[in-house]
Amino acid sequence: MLIQLKKVTIVAESLLKEGILEILKAQGSTGYTITACEGEGSKGIHASDFEGRNIQIDTIVSSEVGQLVLTAVSERYMKNYALIAYMNDVEVVREDKFK
């Protein structure tokens, strides 16, 4: 009953929200979950405190879509923006929700 899928997680400055969600949609993700967060990494400075801190975007996708999303996000944003992206295996109920 459980199906093996991937959870892709992207942590980025919140200004990138719209752009990342566009990528998700374009690559075939059917849904996402956003959480507000803070953090520190290699890029110390964030654009604007008025815009809120970081966001974490999770999306459950197939392994292929996961690869595509990671590639697209890192190509578009990794160089100039504060962003990390990774994925891990998850066992999911009701796979039809994610297709």
Partner 1 sequence: MLCRCQKQSGTSHIMELAIQNLISPVVLCFVLGAIARWVKSDFKLPDAVYQSLSIYLLLAIGLKGGVAISKTPINELILPALVTLALGIITPLSAFFVMRKFGGLNKTDAAATAAHYGSVSAVTFLASIEAAKLAGLEFEGYVAALMALLEIPGIIVGLILARGKGSGSLGSAIHDVVTGKSIFLLIGGLVIGTACGADKIDGVAPFFIDPFKGVLCLFLLELGTVAASRMRDMKQAGWKLIILGSAIPVVHGILGTAAGILVGMSPGGAAILGAMVGSASYIAAPAAVRIALPEASPGIYLTLALGVTFPFNLILGIPLYMKTAEILSQL
- Count CB neighbours of 8 within 10 A: 25
Mapping DSSP to helix (H, G, I), strand (E, B) and coil, where does residue 46 land?
Answer: coil
> What Rg, from alpha-carbon coordinates, does the chain have?
14
Question: Binds 15, which of partner 1, its own copies, ligand AMP, none (CB < 5 to 8 A, cut-off by type)?
Answer: partner 1
Structure tokens at 73: 């996000």
Token pair 């093996």 is at which residue? 4
| Per-residue mark of binding to ligand AMP, 21-60 (x: CB under 6 A) | --------xxxxx-----xxxxx----------x---xxx
Q: Which residues bind its own copies (CB under 8 A)?
A: 1-2, 5, 7, 9, 11, 30-42, 54, 56, 60, 67, 70-71, 73-74, 78, 84-94, 97
